[in-house]
Amino acid sequence: MEEIGLPLPPVRCLSKEEAARYLGVGVTLLTELEVPFIKLGRRCVYDVLDLDAWLEDYEQRERGRAGKGKSSWLVKQESTKGRILGAGGLQQPSRTEDAYARALGLKTENKRKRILPS
């Protein structure tokens, strides 16, 4: 009679190629990103748990970096008195400014065209 053995657990340590495929990147990018690995003799293996933790940490760092510039673009409605400000300088007001204000549900004012002296 043959013994029926228990199935092996899922593989926890991956090769460099498998780890790159797991993260959805190339082997070169995996090396450049300095993803943590474990040295077993001369082999480098990537623990799936370490890959998941590293990816979570990387995602948080990238979100933080992307969020830094966003706050400077937000304009409080109190500071603009409910209107969208046009560009400064000698530029003529944009027709899209009114369309944008209407899309946001803001009231638009009829603007008089300025005639610049020649």
Provide the percentage of residues in the chain whose pLDDT is more than 90.
36
**Average pLDDT of the residues in 71-86:** 56
pLDDT for position 46: 95
Q: What is the pLDDT of residues 83-99, one digit of tens each?
A: 555 555 555 656 777 77
Q: What is the pLDDT of residues 3-36, one digit of tens each?
A: 777 887 788 899 999 999 999 999 999 999 989 9
Phi first, then psi: what are they for 78, rounded to 5°?
-60, -35
pLDDT for position 110: 62
pLDDT for position 21: 95
pTM of the model: 0.49
Helices 48-70 and 16-23 cross at an angle (nearest 10°) of 40
DSSP bridge partners of 47: 13
Provide the percentage of residues in the chain whose pLDDT is more than 70.
62
Per-residue pLDDT at 78 exceeds 80:
no
Residue 37: pLDDT band (50, 70, 90) is: very high
Determine the length of the chain. 118
